[in-house]
Structure 1
Amino acid sequence: MASAKTSWSEDNFSCSICLDVFSNPVTTPCGHNFCRTCITKFWDEQVQYKCPVCNKIFDIRPDLQVNTLLSELATPFRKSLQANEQPCVEPAEVPCDVCIGTQLKAVKSCLVCFTSYCQTHLEPHQRVAGLKKHRLVEPMDRLEDRMCKKHDRLLELFCQTEQVFVCQFCTEGDHRSHPVVPLKEEYEVKMAQLGKIEAEVQQMIQERKLKIKEIKATVERSKSDADREIADGGQIINALICCVEKCRDDFNQTVNEKLKSTGKQAVDLIKELEQEIEDLTNRSSEVKQLSHTIDHLHFLQDFSSLKDPPPTRDWTTVEVRPPSYVGTLRRSLDQLEETLNMEMKKLSDDELKRVQQYEVDVTLDPDTAQTTLILSEDGKQVHHGFVGKKLPDNPKRFKFHIFVLTKQSFSSGSFYFEVQVKEHTAWRLGVAKESINRKGRIIVTPEMGYWTLYFNKDGLVFQDNPAVHVPLRAELQKVGVFVDYDEGLVSFYDVEARVHLYSATGCTFTEPLHPFFAPCLYGDQGINSPPMIISPVNQKD
């Protein structure tokens, strides 16, 4: 028996329909064996019931019974065959289109059948003469999509002109004059492009991750700044509240003390008056009693013993005057103002320290300077030279007005710079938007794109419509300019006195801003000669 088994081959146990080892084999009346599923499906698709091997036709559909002996013989052979069978298809591999149940890895694809075969199901193409003529290629999935619809040939080429897949016959027709390359060559080009795209995408991802990190850091920093601002502001406001409450208490105490003094004076006078009334009442009783004496002797005797009248004050000149509160509130408010000014001075100093942290390094742009202006080589100083120079009239240059901008511009965030104006008798200073008019008549107001302070012998003003007069406590030597672009804020500071001068709030910025300088011509030649100097920030402790 063992020797017999060793002589059996797969053909002895193969179904002639599926070419696989029998599964539930049945026998037809003509003596041929098939898998029950295969013969059943075959007859379901036929008009006549015939044998797939000998073509014998049956009048009625045969009632098939399982061939028990063949099933028992095929089962161990199937198991041994499966043990040596090819591995199941992996995700990246092409599966066999014929396998039922577990699909095996395809080893070839047929361009005539449009089918991929594992080693077992490929066998007829290696044995049957008609099938041997079919073109076999390395396994490919979706074979129908790989075939030229027009020529029924494999799409092996790529037309670079029309960016489509073509077969060899297409290059002899519609694509004759087009540059055509093998798919592999175009694949390598596109893969290189894909690698570049992937690198670019990864770089963009990293940039966005860094931006997220930056934004989160900004939020954290903003939260820390907000917490510090709330704490510092709360401390100052609480101090101011304490000052106001103390002022109120001192005022109330002063008024109440005046009222108390007046009340005490009134009580003392009333007490004195009541004592005199009591004394006078007693004397009145004695006089009345004496007036009822009829006996002349007794009357005269008692009259001589009548007491002298008690001493009394002349009350016609005595009065209680209500206290005067005039000036009491004023004196309290003056004291409060003095205290508040001290606190505001501290606040301005703290505020200046904070804005100085946004210092930027700016230099004057000679291409914008009006021809009478003289700039230092380092771009940090400018003064009026009285004589115009012959310079190119480029679009950036101010033609008539004695203005100059910096090379640097800012379109977000905050920035701060300081300018020395000591002994300068007239000047304009601030920021201006990039698109300002530079050639014709210029109106220096926020509406026209300028946010500036103007100083001359008449004082200091913020140039708006109307102008805002800014009080000065001392001669200006150095001015600080702070801009918060996103908040729409422009602030000016007296750096030496460390006080806030003026702030323009609610500004709308929609384009880059440049620091703006104007060393105005004022008075006789030479009077306004000291330069405006961009100075480095020197923070004080």
Structure 2
Amino acid sequence: MAANFQQGPSCPVCLCVFSDPVLLPCTHSFCRECVRRNVSGSCPVCRDPYVEEQALSNRALREACELFLAQNQTQNQTQSPSLTGSSSEGTCNLHLKVLQFYCEKDEEPLCEDCVCLHSIHRLFTLKDALPRCKNELNYKLQIFEKKRESYQKKSLKFRQAVDHIKGQAELTEKQIKEEFQRLHELLHKEECVRLQTVTNEKERKIAALNQLIDDTNKDVIALDQLIDSVKKDIQDTDLNILRNFQSFKRKAQWTSREPRLSHDSLLNVGKHVGALGFNIWRNMQSHVKYYPVVLNPNSASPWLSLSDDLTSMKESSERTTAPENPERFDPCVLVLGSEGYASGRHKWEVMVSDSPKWVLGVCKESVIRKKKFTLSPNRGVWAISLSKGVYQALLAERQQLEVPQRPERIRIKLDWDKGEVSFYDGDTSTHLVTLTHRFDERMFPIFGPALHSKPMSLAPGKTTLHT
């Protein structure tokens, strides 16, 4: 039990047990030394004046104090040797007396002379204080043991996260290599086609020139014969030359066209290598898809399964072992786009097909991730949904949408600067609803395919080449 020393025989001045107590004319008692040191000439309690000679020895009070100290000494001697032994560890460093009490506020053991310094504190005997201290330490020990267990579990999860990162890297590297391999094959095929085109043109142009060479050589032979004929006529007699001049002149005629290179006789090098990289890239557009939005697997609910190219999502047959990172939705079955927007206008489309339940829209980056919540602008989500055949705008008070026909493609337009997010039937461009808000942080596309629903996929965007 606690020892209450506030009502013990203590001096009002020094707050210690009376030492040689004296009684003043006003009937208040003090230690003789405290009276001697009082220079005010008035009682410290009631302020009545007195002279030191009027202080009388208070024998009754002195005997009560001695009895009180004797009882405490007897109680001290009955304590356990481990607590009140005569070794230096069981004595007060200040008064060199045996430690007998324990201060609850200052949390330290005291001797009998220390008691007056802690008179307003709650004190215990050492025997009573020990189990209290041990209980508190045991309580802390239990906390630390539970915390250690929690840390061990977290360490296991961190190691699992390391394995997950390795798996992510392995899959990513595989996809990169496969995509580059596909592009390499396309490039190799394009290279072969272009090289074959050069070869075909080269062979065609060379064949034309070889034909021109053959024709020219035939003309050279014909000219040789004509030259020999003219020389022979010139060597005839003078009279015969004059008589047969018209005949000789008619024979000395050359009617063939002068051989020359045609305008397209050489290889069209510019056609083959001019802007080669650009032309190859332009021809490869039909082999490459562009997605305005792709999914962020680090935000996907453990109950969702994403495609390797991060363009479609569906329910997972069992809870995945994905790490419990802060970005991940759990337990809500949601996933975000990989890129957020803090300005500008953006557009993407989602193929919902005939899925009976879904949620589409945008949300703040600070949206709740680790507990269930109602999707609404109050929670940082601007979205529409389909559930039980009813289309709704997910406002604080749900707004039912009039949809003429069931859309298989939903188009979402975000104008961050104007604070608008609009929804359309992607097939007919019919406007469904526009939600407004003054956005003040980065906004992310949000998708909720829901459980037991068919897969939803992102539609590729259209690309236009301007030159």
State the TM-score bracket (shorter-chain normalisation). 0.3 to 0.5
The normalised TM-score by structure 1 is 0.41
The normalised TM-score by structure 2 is 0.47
